[in-house]
Amino acid sequence: MASSVHDAVAEPACAPGRPIARAGAGLVVAVLLVAFNLRLAITSLGALLDRLGDLGVSPATQGLLTSLPVLCFAVVGATAMAVTRWIGVDRGLVVALGLLAAGLVLRVLDGTPALIAGTAVACAGIALANVLVPAIVKEHFPHRVGMMTGAYTAVLSGGSALGAATTVPIANAAGSWRIGLGIWALAAVVALIAWAPHCRRRDPRRADVRRTPLWRSPTAWAVTVLFGSQSLYAYVMMSWLPSVYAGSGFSDATAGLLLAVSIAIGVPFFFLAPTLAVRLRQQGHLVLALSLVTMIGWAGLWLAPREGAWLWAALLGIGGAVFPVTLSFFAMRTTTTADTASLSAMAQSIGYLIAASGPLLVGVLHDASGSWRLPCALLAGMGVVQIAAGYVAGRPVRISARRL
């Protein structure tokens, strides 16, 4: 038996699946609650990173903590298809939420090892959910891919903003950084409870989730590079943007607020961008526009970080809408749920491996230069790669797997 993959011109019809009316409001709410949790663990930690340094967490450990999310996303993303073939897509999401909740509790126990281990476990849960949610959207909402992708990424962004803006005030009010971080485990438990009813029956898609060869598809590789570039931007921002602003003279609370504002301003664009993307024949122009906004934001932080602080934060938030556009490609560039899951796994495992270098490289460049100017300049120039990948990924084709 041989397998091959080719890129075919996209058909206007959507892949078969249950219409949105049958999905039900409960499923919509459950998906959105899951999305709300998918960045909280990262932005909440980023908001407290400088304080942890004051409490004795070494710079090396801080660098490891900023790189752990993308490293976990790459490793776990590569194994996600094996998990889903074993237990199914819906039940796989239960496992993901359980890992997330357990990790959020573990990381606030005593000692740096618990902080590192808990962050790794929580990020493993997020990584598994990252791969599964696009496949769930493809299966349950085949005729509303753009709308649901926009909705869940907007909620994801809102959760990110909430974590960045409120973690420090919660920690201050409680007098403990552990409460500031640990309280978010409750949100993961609520999402788990909301999702659990959808896993009572045997998952009929378990047998359908199989390995789909994508390695020879230029479109699959373009989607992967695009995912990697926008992820690098996102995780550098979530990990280091408060520190960039703190280095420009802002207080820790204001620096966290600037990150939250950046994320919050992006929320409506996260909703609108994939809705617009599904209406366009070529999405490369949309990626170009959003990438240019991102490049201007990082150039502003390079040249005038304090004078234009709020504007640069807004531009970075708007430019981050490349993320939901890329997620919509998982469904738009494939024909079946299994293919969507396979493309999601490939793009996220390799893409996050690309992104893993970002927070670490930015930290190294900052330490070497004693300034944030060099990292910001590099990030501004990196947008060229994102634009090139976007034009290839945005072509009106679908990846079709033929089994001979």
pLDDT of residue 233: 93
- Beta-strand relationship, 397-403 and 3-9: antiparallel
273: pLDDT strictly greater than 80? yes
Domain boundaries, the chain: 19-403
211: pLDDT strictly greater than 70? no
- In whole angstroms, what is the distance from residue 161 CA to residue 44 CA? 9
Among the residue ranges 8-12, 36-40, 359-363, the one predicted with the least confidence is 8-12
pLDDT band at 61 (very low <50, low <70, confident <90, very high): confident
237: pLDDT strictly greater than 60? yes
Q: Which residue has the higher pLDDT, 330 or 399?
A: 330
pLDDT of residue 18: 40
- In whole angstroms, what is the distance from residue 38 CA to residue 104 CA? 12
pLDDT of residue 9: 58
* Amino acid, res. 34: V
Q: What is the mean pLDDT of residues 146-162?
A: 86
Tens-place pLDDT, residues 113-137: 899 999 999 999 998 998 889 888 8
The count of other CB atoms within 10 Å of the CB of residue 1 is: 4
* Average pLDDT score over the chain: 84
3-state SS, residue 337? helix
Counting residues of the chain whose pLDDT is more than 90, the rounded percentage is: 37
Tens-place pLDDT, residues 305-314: 989 999 999 9
pLDDT band at 257 (very low <50, low <70, confident <90, very high): confident
3-state SS, residue 334? coil
Among the residue ranges 202-211, 243-252, 261-270, 384-393, the one predicted with the least confidence is 202-211
DSSP class of residue 48 equals T
- In whole angstroms, what is the distance from residue 40 CA to residue 55 CA? 22
Q: Which residue has the higher pLDDT, 4 or 356?
A: 356
Q: Which CATH superfamily is domain 19-403 in?
A: MFS general substrate transporter like domains (1.20.1250.20)
59: pLDDT strictly greater than 60? yes
pLDDT band at 225 (very low <50, low <70, confident <90, very high): very high
- In whole angstroms, what is the distance from residue 60 CA to residue 63 CA? 5
